[in-house]
């Protein structure tokens, strides 16, 4: 009796997978083997177990995917409970990945969700190579770019230079901003990747330093003051500020509240501190549900070939009614992540431009948007580290280079720089082009 009930559970999928339809792809053959593939072979990686991640895990498990891994570095907070429905009050303080996996495994018999309570950067190529499809529900552009770079690095080429299709791991990326959301389908190196359309991401909100330091008027000004000035000055934990560390957030909240009291500024809260530190936009449950459903549907279409996958970008907006559209984002031939062509940086006056100016450009330019680039190059046949902030001993040794001009650093026209950054698991190459035109870098 139990076996019969379980068998009937997937009848709605059999109607799709075991008979032909008007939208079938050429690769699709109606068969009972496809459902067996979903159940027993196909491995899906869900990145993020937050608002989107909870919806994704539920949708994928109920669509027949039984081998799912989920990775998330965060723990559950009280503010999560209004939309992250796999969690309860008793779960506050626990790992999101572990709690979500336990809930799904218990609620949907036969499903095996394996949790990973860590950063995506903690795993190497061998871990990511085991999955058929990766679907992400991240709230971080840096993390998106990192996993994008990782999947690109897994692509192998045949002897004739063509892409080995078996090495391509599709990524379905979803994102929400209040009542707006988007989903995209990425086949690494074959169509537009995350970095190809980096300028589509909204610019980060910034506040003038003079306002933050001298005439704060908003609670955000107080938070930014502690983040930019006070943290480096006092360095309470002897490390970089981490918006995911509760102790760091609490310290910033306490100091920001003290500054807010001095200037009679109200409205400061722990949640606002988190939002400013991590550039978080308030989430809406209904938007998460819609985008997760779109992403899960694309995973199903790619895994079964029963319908053509989205090509390749879907946008959702329900601020004033419901409005959706899709378009094909074009592959950027000069993309930092998926192109093999070094990016050219034009520099007008290498005698006055310092290394710090170059680093600032890499961080603020919409085509690069780096976080803390480390730069090395070859000079006279020898590898030389110009600057690296992530290793304390090297940072101390190379700090003096920041004030030197590019000419003083013996950098020449056509010089190739190798740049490592948190936005990509692999180093990228840029080439300097010294010009005589009276224009700034583009």
Tokens of 353: 């431009």
Report the alpha-carbon distance of residue 162 to residue 139 in Å, rounded.
Answer: 34
- Name the H helices within 195-269: 209-214, 219-225, 231-234, 246-262
Report the alpha-carbon distance of residue 237 to residue 248 in Å, rounded.
Answer: 8
Report the alpha-carbon distance of residue 230 to residue 275 in Å, rounded.
Answer: 18
CA quadruple 246, 249, 254, 260: dihedral sign: negative
Report the alpha-carbon distance of residue 106 to residue 94 in Å, rounded.
Answer: 17
Secondary structure of residue 221 in the 3-state scheme: helix
Report the alpha-carbon distance of residue 59 to residue 172 in Å, rounded.
Answer: 14
Of 210, 239, 335, 338, which residue is the catalytic one?
Answer: 210
Tell me, yes or no, if 210 is annotated catalytic: yes
Tokens 């306002």 belong to residue? 211
CB of 418 within 8 A of CB of 429? yes
Which stretches does DSSP call E strand in 268-414? Answer: 313-317, 323-327, 343-347, 374-379, 382-387
φ/ψ of residue 364, rounded to 5: -100, -25
Secondary structure of residue 327 in the 3-state scheme: strand
Q: Which residues, at least 6 apart from 237, have a Cβ–Cβ distance to it below 8 Å? A: 245, 247, 248, 251
Q: How many CB atoms lie within 10 A of CB 218?
A: 17
Tokens of 11: 């009848």
Active-site positions read 210
């Amino acid at each position: 009796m139990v076996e019969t009930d379980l068998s009937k559970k997937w009848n709605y999928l059999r109607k799709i997978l075991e008979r032909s339809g008007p939208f079938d792809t050429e690769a699709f053959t109606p068969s009972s083997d496809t459902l067996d593939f979903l159940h027993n072979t196909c491995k899906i990686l869900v990145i993020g177990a937050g608002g989107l991640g909870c919806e994704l895990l539920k949708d994928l498990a109920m669509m027949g995917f039984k081998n799912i891994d989920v990775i998330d570095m965060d723990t559950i907070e009280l503010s999560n409970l209004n939309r992250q429905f796999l969690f309860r009050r008793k779960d506050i303080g626990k790992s999101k990945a572990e709690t979500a996996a336990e809930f799904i495994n218990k609620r949907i018999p036969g499903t095996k969700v394996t949790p990973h309570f860590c950063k995506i950067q903690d795993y190497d190529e061998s871990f990511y190579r085991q999955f058929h499809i990766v679907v992400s529900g991240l709230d971080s552009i840096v993390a998106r770019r990192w996993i994008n770079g990782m999947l690109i690095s897994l692509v192998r080429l045949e002897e004739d230079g063509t892409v080995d299709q078996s090495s391509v791991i599709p990524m379905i990326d979803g994102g929400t901003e209040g009542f707006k959301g988007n989903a995209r389908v990425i086949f690494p190196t074959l169509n537009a990747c995350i970095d190809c359309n980096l300028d589509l991401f909204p610019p980060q909100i910034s506040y003038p330093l003079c306002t933050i330091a001298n005439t704060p008027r908003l609670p955000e000004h107080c938070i930014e003051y502690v983040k930019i000035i006070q943290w480096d000055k006092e360095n309470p934990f002897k490390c970089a500020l981490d918006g995911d560390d509760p102790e760091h957030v609490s310290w910033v909240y306490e100091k920001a509240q003290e500054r807010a009291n001095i200037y009679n500024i109200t409205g400061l809260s722990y949640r606002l501190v988190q939002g400013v530190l991590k550039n978080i936009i308030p989430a809406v449950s209904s938007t998460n549900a819609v985008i997760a459903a779109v992403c899960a549907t694309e995973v199903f279409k790619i895994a079964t070939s029963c319908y053509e996958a989205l090509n390749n970008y879907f946008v959702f907006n329900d601020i004033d009614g419901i409005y959706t559209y899709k378009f094909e984002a074009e592959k950027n031939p000069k993309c930092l992540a998926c192109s093999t062509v070094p990016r050219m940086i034009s520099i007008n006056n290498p005698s006055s431009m310092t290394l710090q100016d170059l680093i600032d450009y890499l961080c603020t330019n919409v085509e690069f948007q780096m976080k803390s680039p480390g730069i090395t190059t070859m000079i006279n046949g020898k590898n030389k580290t110009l600057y690296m902030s992530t290793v304390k001993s090297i940072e101390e040794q190379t700090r003096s280079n920041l004030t030197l001009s590019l000419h003083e650093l013996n950098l020449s026209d056509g010089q190739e720089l190798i740049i490592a950054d948190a936005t990509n698991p692999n180093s990228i190459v840029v080439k300097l082009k010294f010009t005589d035109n009276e224009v700034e870098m583009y």
